[in-house]
Structure 1
Amino acid sequence: MKVTDKYLLSIVGPTAIGKTALSIQLANHFNTDIVSADSRQFFKEMSIGTATPSKEELAAAKHHFIHHKSITEDYNVGAFEKDAIKQIKTLHQSHDTVIMVGGSGLYVDAVTKGLDNFPEVDKSIRQQLNNQLEQEGLKALQRQLKQLDPISYNTITIDNPHRVIRALEICIGSGQPYSSFLNKDKNKRPFKTITIGLEAERPIIYDRINQRVIKMVEAGLVDEVKLLLPYKNLNSLKTVGYKEVFKYLEGEWSLEVAISEIQKNSRRFAKRQLTWFKKNPETFWFDYKTSLKDIIFKIESQF
């Protein structure tokens, strides 16, 4: 490795595939720190339902951006990009290699590629769209996006209301398609990214997810969510594992139905993650059972 070379090892893959364990092993091998790009693990009130690394895992390697925010704080991908790049730059002063791990594709891309630059739009547009979502449902917003920006309709995660609303607010606020702002000049990074993806056959991924959800419930997920019930309308809590338990706590579903829905929605999330991460042709994909030695060999061959 040249003295001037700086590397970011980005570990990606679907939920429950083993990214945390691999990132800690790599951090220990390269004697470095881990930057989390999991947007659900930023919030200190959310541990069990976000599969935050355990105390033992956090002690095994130094982590950044785990539980550093409260659910009541406004924190988005733009703020994370600035904070993460600053932290990586600091770590690169004493480490040639830094590890980044996370399943939030947009947050990973923000660090590795930079964000697209969008115009400022009136905040009231988002509120109007949120109201429309409540009253008319997601399909009405999808139809509106298809009319205003068919390219985005066919490329974004169309079943994610946050993504649909974000695209629509830019279309409405700027008078131009959301897609027209994508892939313009982005910031160059002062490091080389090596992306390692973990994968498995779909039945294996789904079984690991189902088992993880059961362990979350056994670890006290319901009690964790119960404490957050007064905040259930916050965006940070409109996420898998929390929104389903809210329905149980409010008497709408039985616990069995809530667990089944968490498993189903987590499987759907994993499918979306894989679709997102597979778009990067430079990712080196490994079966989740691949030996650490083989993964390190591939990484070091890129230095």
Structure 2
Amino acid sequence: MNNKYLISIIGPTAIGKTTLSIKLANYFKTEIISADSRQFFKEMSIGTAAPTKPELEAAKHHFIHHRSVTEDYNVGAFEKEALDCIKNLHQTHEIVIMVGGSGLYVDAVTKGLDYFPEVDKSMREQLNNKLETEGLETLQLQLKKLDLASYNTIALDNPQRVIRALEVCIGSGQPYSSFLNKDKNKRPFTTITIGLDAERSIIYDRINRRVNIMVENGLVEEVKSLLPYQKLNSLNTVGYKEIFNFLNKEWSLDFAISEIQKNSRRFAKRQLTWFKRNTETIWFDYQTPIEDIVSKIKTIIK
């Protein structure tokens, strides 16, 4: 039985994960690992709802703004670095907190990455050409036909994710999802997964209000500073791509904001679909008192 613990806090965007993680870190006198793939980048702060300066000062955080959008950083590199960090922290802390809404990155740390068959590189080139000529929706529909499970869980608005799933489906003749959750590496710690949830209408209202606050806090100016890098994959994400369309005079600002809200709501729905697959998650209403969550965690540890 492992006597070291990782408390993983998950849930849809805007549900209050950061606040809970800081409260738990302070209670257990420990540090926080971020598993939010967008908060890694130092140029992206407002649009990713990264922890504020007071929040960063309230508890020690790792993997916040430690990379540049110009760097090639992926889930495999994060898995290795995060496990090394957790190992070091466990030398002086029985418990480490991890928080983030990026399901793939959370699973990489808690379960290990999946391994896929080699696929001819020409397959990706063909799919990229198809993306250019026929658009993302055509690829999405192709994935839906070949692998409905992946279609229902991956980030469909991310062309790279869709292409990756498709190239495995086509290249191997088997669904991308069939290679998931096989032969994972054991972890030298016990993971306790805490999920925050709320009624769908509450989640959507919180998302809409958060987007408005982002705009008030200077989201447009932040995205404007990133215009030279708008083609980078790290910036092909909700909150940035919509404002790029506004800055490129393709959309009005009001429409861009409404699209951010809509796409964020869709993202939250996909997050919950992904996270609900883990039957061991302990779910709490987002307004649950911290004392009740701490009590449950302590019961499990004992």
TM-score clears 0.5: yes
Is residue 15–residue 103 contact of structure 1 (8 Å, CA) maintained in 2? yes
- Give the TM-score of the pair, scaled to structure 2: 0.94
Judging changes above 3 Å, is the alpha-carbon distance between structure 1 residues 136 and 273 closer, same or farther for their aligned structure 2 residues?
A: same
The residue aligned with 2:79 is 81
Does residue 141 in structure 1 map to residue 139 in structure 2? yes
- Give the Å deviation of 1:270: 0.8
- Give the Å deviation of 1:44: 0.5
The AA in structure 2 aligned to 1:232 is: Q
Does residue 227 in structure 1 map to residue 225 in structure 2? yes
How high is the sequence identity, in percent, across the aligned residues? 73
Q: Distance in 2 between matches of 1:203 and 1:281?
A: 24
Aligned equivalent of 1:64, options 59, 62, 65:
62
The residue aligned with 1:157 is 154
Q: Distance in 2 between matches of 1:16 and 1:120?
A: 37
Judging changes above 3 Å, is the alpha-carbon distance between structure 1 residues 146 and 261 closer, same or farther for their aligned structure 2 residues?
A: closer
The residue aligned with 1:48 is 46
- Give the Å deviation of 1:159: 2.8
Which of 154-163 and 53-62 deviates more? 154-163
- Give the Å deviation of 1:201: 1.1
Could you list the per-position Cα deviations for residues 245-293 of structure 1 after superposition, in whole angstroms to 9, with x for gaps in the alignment?
0010011111111111111111111111111111111111111111000
Judging changes above 3 Å, is the alpha-carbon distance between structure 1 residues 209 and 142 closer, same or farther for their aligned structure 2 residues?
A: closer
Could you list the per-position Cα deviations for residues 142-181 of structure 1 after superposition, in whole angstroms to 9, with x for gaps in the alignment?
343355x435555543734333211112234445542342
The AA in structure 2 aligned to 1:159 is: L
The AA in structure 1 aligned to 2:246 is: Y
Q: Distance in 1 between matches of 2:196 and 2:189?
A: 22
Judging changes above 3 Å, is the alpha-carbon distance between structure 1 residues 117 and 287 closer, same or farther for their aligned structure 2 residues?
A: same
Q: Distance in 2 between matches of 1:85 and 1:11?
A: 16
The residue aligned with 1:119 is 117
| Structure 1 unaligned spans of 5+ | none
Is residue 91–residue 98 contact of structure 1 (8 Å, CA) maintained in 2? yes
| Structure 2 unaligned spans of 5+ | none
- Give the Å deviation of 1:233: 0.8
- Give the Å deviation of 1:120: 3.9
- Give the TM-score of the pair, scaled to structure 1: 0.94
The residue aligned with 2:168 is 170
Please give the residue correspondences for 1:163-202 in structure 2 after superposition, counting only pairs within 5 Å: 163-174=161-172, 176-202=174-200
Is residue 8–residue 100 contact of structure 1 (8 Å, CA) maintained in 2? yes
Does residue 14 in structure 1 map to residue 15 in structure 2? no
Judging changes above 3 Å, is the alpha-carbon distance between structure 1 residues 158 and 79 closer, same or farther for their aligned structure 2 residues?
A: closer
SS of alignment partner, residue 301 of structure 1: helix
RMSD across aligned positions (CA): 1.8
Is residue 147–residue 176 contact of structure 2 (8 Å, CA) maintained in 1? no
Judging changes above 3 Å, is the alpha-carbon distance between structure 1 residues 125 and 10 closer, same or farther for their aligned structure 2 residues?
A: same
